[in-house]
């Protein structure tokens, strides 16, 4: 497993590099944003540990560049500020996990293991519906190639509707598949989630069939193979 460690503090880099090597990773180290971006762009890493406060180019910008160029390597960000706005900005840029300094080294190793487990086994059978694409193994969805940021309930709803696309699905059926337990089963719930899903995937993809339920279909002009 190759890991790219991006950290500007000399001591912390040395310690982390040692800890990662001990854990069996092949470690490359970049002390600033420019080198990090270059390495990440040219070498096939399995996971990246990225400090946000970097010289030359800051961490969020580096991450944004990688994602724009289509790199899907899982990235764990390190933040010293601990502010949620930094974490959210990191996730918007495409991060997969965060850790606030100071942290225990074991915690970092555990998080990296989890990230690698999650990213393993990509390229599974995906579901498509026009420009919508859903990867059930990674639990990720995209619309026209752009990643969708869905909560688990929204994802579950979209998954079910994509498995049954073109068919009218009743509210009762949806609510039964949305919640595995018996709470919150009121009719309003589905409307709330369908509303949010429409905002994220485009409102025309889900059609309301009065009195019956909802139907998901490709947009007019979109081919199913898109």
Count CB-CB contacts under 10 A for residue 198: 15
- Is residue 112 at the binding interface for another protein, with CB under 8 A as the rule? no
What is the size of the binding site for another protein (CB under 8 A)?
A: 45
Judged by CB under 8 A, which of 84, 137, 176, 219 binds another protein? 84
- Give the one residue of 72, 105, 119, 217 binding another protein; rule: CB under 8 A: 105
Least separation in angstroms between CB 96 and another protein: 7
| Alpha helices (H) in 58-186, listed in sequence order | 59-68, 84-93, 105-119, 152-163, 171-178
From candidates 101, 159, 171, 177, binder to another protein by CB under 8 A: 101
Q: Which stretch binds another protein (CB under 8 A): 30-38, 87-95, 162-170, 206-214?
A: 87-95
**Helices 33-42, 59-68: crossing angle, 10 deg rounding:** 20
CA 11 remoteness from chain centre: 31
| Residue labelled with tokens 């912390």 | 12
24 near another protein, rule: CB under 8 A: no
**Binder of another protein out of 1, 39, 67, 91 (CB under 8 A):** 91
Positions in 116-175 near another protein (CB under 8 A): 117-118, 139, 149-153
Question: Which positions ≥6 away from 111 have C-beta within 8 Å?
Answer: 76, 97, 99
Residue 135 pairs in a beta bridge with: 140
Q: Contact at 8 Å (CB) between 190 and 175? A: yes
The sign of the CA dihedral 130, 132, 133, 139 is negative
Which of residues 107 and 176 has its CB atom nearest to another protein in the complex?
107
- Tell me if 196 contacts another protein by CB under 8 A: yes
List of residues contacting another protein (CB under 8 A): 9, 11-12, 15-16, 19, 53, 80-85, 87-88, 91-92, 96-107, 114, 117-118, 139, 149-153, 183-184, 186, 188-189, 192, 196
């Amino acid at each position: 497993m190759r890991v790219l460690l991006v950290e500007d503090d000399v001591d912390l880099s040395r310690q982390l590099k040692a800890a990662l090597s001990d854990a069996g990773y092949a470690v490359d180290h970049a002390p600033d944003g420019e080198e990090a971006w270059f390495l990440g762009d040219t070498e096939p890493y399995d996971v990246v540990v990225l400090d946000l406060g970097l010289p030359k180019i800051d961490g969020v910008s580096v991450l944004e560049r990688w994602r724009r160029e289509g790199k899907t390597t899982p990235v764990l960000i390190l933040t010293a500020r601990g502010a949620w706005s930094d974490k959210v900005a990191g996730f918007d840029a495409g991060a997969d996990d965060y850790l606030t300094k100071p942290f225990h080294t074991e915690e970092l190793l555990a998080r990296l293991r989890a990230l690698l487990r999650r990213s393993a086994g990509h390229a599974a059978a995906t579901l498509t519906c026009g420009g919508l694409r859903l990867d059930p193994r990674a639990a990720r969805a995209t619309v026209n190639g752009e990643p969708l940021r869905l909560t688990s309930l929204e994802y579950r709803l979209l998954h079910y509707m994509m498995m049954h696309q073109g068919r009218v699905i009743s509210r009762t059926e949806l609510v039964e598949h949305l919640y595995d337990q018996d709470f919150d089963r009121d009719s309003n719930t589905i409307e709330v989630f369908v509303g949010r899903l429409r905002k994220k995937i485009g409102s025309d993809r889900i059609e309301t069939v009065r009195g019956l339920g909802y139907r998901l279909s490709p947009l007019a002009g979109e081919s199913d193979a898109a």
